[in-house]
Structure 1
Amino acid sequence: MTYDPANIFAKILAGDLPCHKVHEDETALVMMDIFPQSKGHTLVIPKAASRNLLDADPKALAAVMPLVQRVARAVKAATNADGIRLAQFNEAPAGQTVFHLHFHIIPAYEGVALGTHGGGKADDAELAALARDIAAKL
């Protein structure tokens, strides 16, 4: 499998499509997942082009992982989540639906089941508010 530069995350990174941006630096874009599995579900999307973990440059991975950790801490603090699930899918049989490497930071709340991956679309106003709250904790 090869990287498709026309994937939706590449278009968002290029500024061709909108997102609820939490943070952006030289390594990655952090944004809200519009189909969240829980309140505060956030994505970290490395800027380096790769289909997924299997073809990613190890240097790009090393550069983005500290940000993944920072965002996880910020999401937990902003949402008062009881825990954090970190997910990353590689190829369609494993659940990958957008073929650009990305990390899901999914808040977990005691006694609340997670929604399905790619389930219902969230309210834009709520996503914008969550993005501001998480950014403030970064």
Structure 2
Amino acid sequence: MSDCTFCKIVAGLLPSYRVLEDEHTLAFLNIRPASPGHTLVIPRVHARDVWEISKTSHGEVADMVHRVAAVLKTTLAPEGVNVKHNTGEAAGQDVFHYHVHVVPRWRGDDLRLTWSSPLAPAHELEQVLERVTAGR
């Protein structure tokens, strides 16, 4: 067993508040919730991040995210939901087992998960697009 907190939760070695689970994924309440019902969805098989997770496992997580969002909508009646993932420390990842946050939202909850950026000039977008498409 690795030192991964989420692998220990999957194995039942650490407690969790399980919302939904199936043979491939586990969804449990975040113990540091951004809002009531904030749920984490993880693959049962360890993958560090979006660059490491298999296409199949990523699809299984996406399916569970969809199921969790539906359960939260029915039971907690949020006015919206954020679905968020961070890969790498620079992006805010602090547990290095792939996971997706499903965060119920209500008007006036004052939770800030968005950003406001200036409009990019066309020439900058063209330069980035050129680099990205050249590297495919």
TM-score by length of 2: 0.78
Q: Alignment RMSD, CA only?
A: 1.6
Matched, 1:35 2:35: no
Q: Secondary structure at the match of 2:51?
A: helix
CA deviations over 1:85-138 (Å, ceiling 9, x no partner): 00111011101010000110000101111278xxxxxxxxxxxxxxxxxxxxxx
Matched, 1:59 2:56: yes
Structure 2: 5+ residue stretches without partners: 114-136
Counterpart in the other structure of 2:2: 5
Moved over 6 A (4+): none
Matched, 1:78 2:79: no
Counterpart Cα distance in 2 of 1:76 and 1:34: 20
Counterpart in the other structure of 2:22: 25
TM-score by length of 1: 0.77
Counterpart in the other structure of 2:12: 15
Report 1 or 2 for greater relative contact order, CA contacts < 8 Å, sequence distance ≥ 6: 1
**8 A contact 2:25–2:60 mirrored in 1:** no
Counterpart Cα distance in 1 of 2:111 and 2:74: 18
Change (3 A) 1:115 1:12: farther
Pairs aligned (count): 113
How many Å apart are 1:77 and its aligned residue?
A: 1.8
Q: Please tell me whether Structure 1 or Structure 2 has the larger radius of gyration of its CA atoms.
A: 2
Q: Kindly provide the amino acid, as one letter, of the partner of residue 68 in structure 1.
A: V
Q: Structure 1 vs Structure 2: percent identity of aligned residues?
A: 36
